[in-house]
């Protein structure tokens, strides 16, 4: 049980691994395949240190040699890569209308994925724990992965939470979750360490960096049922004092604006979040399929309409995007990032509408111009949070012990 709490501790920002072993593993993982010489450059360690650390990792079965590079006039480089089958982690993303599972291997690749209907609005937390535990077990079983190689589970849910204590406040659909220590219950039920994280923060951890240049400071703008953001610094997420950093959905963007479920008024989420977009679309008489369709499913229906030429749907989304752009600008102003990634289920379905509007505002703002902040769309938006939670587990100390 000692180990269990270890993974989810870490008050505030977790500095870059002082642990060279973790540093090497991270470097190999994010590079794909690298040679030892390259590792000396990436990590700043000396060649002998790299040799020693890599040897131990190979002995422990965490890293493999993977053929040779071509010679550049001398001995060719021996390439290294993560032994993908060494360990696995599970990532789970819960929201009212969907429940996403991913199984991620030690190299960080998704080897299994499962999306199911969410527990709905009035679910009993204890029953949901049961269900998640059962489905997690089933996921592992069906994937054919040896369960003893599964290190732990990263669990993600929307909204503010207090690390190690559970959800502290929640959107209307999940109020009965407040104060329920779901990750602890999952730990007990599954016998695996579990980590609890905010959806947006996890998404920041899960975003693959596909930019050419080196990005050490990036943020994710996450939209699912709500709106949030996460900040990633050199691969570590910034969580704030209580694990609630990045609550961009509840900054006030309009004095005297509409009431938000959070108790405040004029929140970005209340004005331009998916729930509001859906309400506006319904009010405008758009056909979103079944009237029982809610949350991201309903939002996706609007996006489909907009993308197939419905100008009313498009106008509603473009209006939402102009507000989201404000949030994005706040993120870049406050965090000063090199890269902002739009991610989460809502951007997965409507990102192409939001992206140019957000980009334009960022690039035309004074600081955007001065420093050239890039804004991109995550191609794995749907699963970003679940993947991120899994990756956070994969980067915990647990994951590098022999």
Partner DNA sequence: GCCACTATATTCACAGACCTAACAAACTCA
Partner DNA sequence: TGAGTTTGTTAGGTCTGTGAATATAGTGGC
Q: Which residues bind a copy of itself (CB under 8 A)?
A: 11-13, 15-16, 18, 160, 162, 168-169, 216-217, 229, 233-234, 239-248, 250-255, 262-264, 322, 326, 329-331, 333-338, 364-367, 369-371
Closest CB to a copy of itself among residues 163, 382? 163
Separation of alpha carbons 294 and 374, rounded Å: 32
Q: How far apart (Å, rounded) are the C-alpha atoms in residues 73 and 90? A: 44
Cβ atoms within 10 A of the Cβ of 82, count? 26
Q: How far is CA 135 from the centre of its chain?
A: 21
> How far is CA 390 from each of CA 153, 399, 400, rounded to the nearest angstrom?
7, 11, 15
Q: Residue 331 binds what, of a copy of itself, DNA, none (CB under 5 to 8 Å, by partner type)?
A: a copy of itself
Strands laid side by side in the 63-68 sheet: 33-35, 78-82, 63-68
Q: Does 33 bind DNA (CB under 7 A)?
A: no
Q: Is 78 in the site for DNA (CB under 7 A)?
A: yes
Pick the closer one to a copy of itself by CB: 100 or 373. Answer: 373
Interaction between residue 30 and DNA (CB under 7 A): no
Is residue 49 within the footprint of DNA (CB under 7 A)? yes
- Cβ of residue 93: shortest distance to a copy of itself, in angstroms? 21
Centre a 10 Å sphere on the Cβ of residue 325 and count the other Cβ atoms it contains.
23
User: Candidates 66-74, 124-132, 191-199, 348-356 — which segment interacts with DNA by CB under 7 A?
Assistant: 66-74
Given the complex with DNA, which of 38 and 269 has the nearer CB atom?
A: 38
Q: Phi and psi for 60 in degrees, rounded to 5?
A: -80, 0
How far separated are the first and last CA of the chain, in Å rounded?
Answer: 18
Residue among 5, 11, 32, 47 that touches DNA (CB under 7 A): 47
How far is C-alpha 321 from the geometric centre of its chain's CA atoms?
Answer: 21
Report the nearest approach of a copy of itself to the CB of residue 314 (Å): 20
φ and ψ at residue 320, rounded to 5 degrees: -55, -45
Q: Which of 16, 20, 242, 319 binds DNA (CB under 7 A)?
A: 20
3-state secondary structure of 210: coil
Name residues contacting DNA, limited to 175-194 (CB under 7 A).
none
Total binding residues toward DNA, as defined by CB under 7 A: 25
Q: How many whole angstroms separate alpha carbon 292 and alpha carbon 298?
A: 9
- Does 36 engage in binding with DNA (CB under 7 A)? yes
As a residue count, the chain comes to 402
Closest C-alpha among 253, 227, 239, 168 to residue 197: 239
Please select the residue that binds DNA; options are 59, 61, 67, 75, rule is CB under 7 A: 75
Segment near DNA (CB under 7 A); pick from 46-54, 81-89, 97-105, 234-242: 46-54
Residue 307 binds DNA, judged by CB under 7 A:
no
Please report whether residue 9 would count as binding DNA according to CB under 7 A.
Answer: no
Binding site for DNA (CB under 7 A): 20, 35-37, 44-55, 68, 71-78
């Amino acid at each position: 049980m000692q180990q269990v709490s270890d993974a989810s501790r870490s008050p505030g920002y977790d500095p870059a691994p002082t642990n060279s072993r973790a540093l090497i593993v991270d470097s190999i993982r994010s590079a794909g395949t690298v040679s030892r010489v390259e590792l000396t450059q990436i990590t700043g360690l000396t060649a002998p240190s790299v040799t020693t650390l890599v040897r131990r990792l190979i002995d422990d079965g965490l890293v493999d040699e993977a053929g040779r590079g071509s010679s550049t006039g001398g001995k060719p480089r021996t390439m290294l890569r993560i032994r993908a089958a060494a360990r696995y982690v599970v990532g789970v993303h819960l929201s009212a209308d969907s429940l996403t599972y991913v199984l991620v291997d030690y190299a960080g690749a998704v080897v299994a994925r499962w999306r199911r209907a969410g527990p709905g609005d009035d679910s009993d937390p204890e029953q949901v724990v049961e269900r998640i535990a059962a489905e997690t077990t089933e996921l592992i079983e069906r994937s054919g992965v040896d369960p003893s190689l599964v290190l732990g589970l990263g669990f993600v849910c929307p909204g503010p939470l207090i690390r190690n204590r559970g959800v502290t406040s929640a959107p209307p659909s999940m109020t009965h979750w407040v104060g329920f220590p779901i990750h602890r219950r999952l730990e007990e039920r599954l016998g695996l360490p579990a980590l609890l994280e905010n959806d947006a923060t996890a998404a920041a951890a899960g975003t693959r960096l596909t930019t050419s240049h080196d990005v050490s400071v990036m943020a994710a703008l996450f939209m699912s049922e709500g709106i949030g953001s996460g900040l990633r610094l050199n691969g570590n997420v910034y969580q704030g004092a209580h694990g609630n950093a990045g609550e961009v959905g509840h900054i006030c963007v309009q004095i005297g604006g509409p009431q938000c479920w959070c108790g405040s008024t004029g929140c970005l989420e209340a004005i331009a979040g998916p729930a509001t977009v859906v309400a506006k679309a319904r009010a405008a008489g758009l056909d979103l399929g079944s009237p029982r369709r809610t949350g991201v499913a309903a939002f996706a229906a609007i996006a489909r309409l907009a993308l197939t030429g419905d100008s009313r749907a498009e106008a509603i989304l473009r209006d939402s995007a102009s507000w989201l752009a404000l949030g994005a600008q706040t993120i870049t102003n406050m965090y000063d990032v090199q890269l902002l990634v739009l991610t989460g289920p809502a951007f997965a379905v409507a990102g192409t509408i939001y992206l140019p509007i957000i980009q334009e505002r960022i690039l035309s703002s004074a600081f955007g111009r001065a420093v050239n902040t890039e804004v991109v769309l995550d191609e794995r938006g749907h699963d970003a949070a679940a993947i991120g939670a899994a990756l956070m587990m994969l980067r915990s100390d647990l994951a590098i012990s022999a």
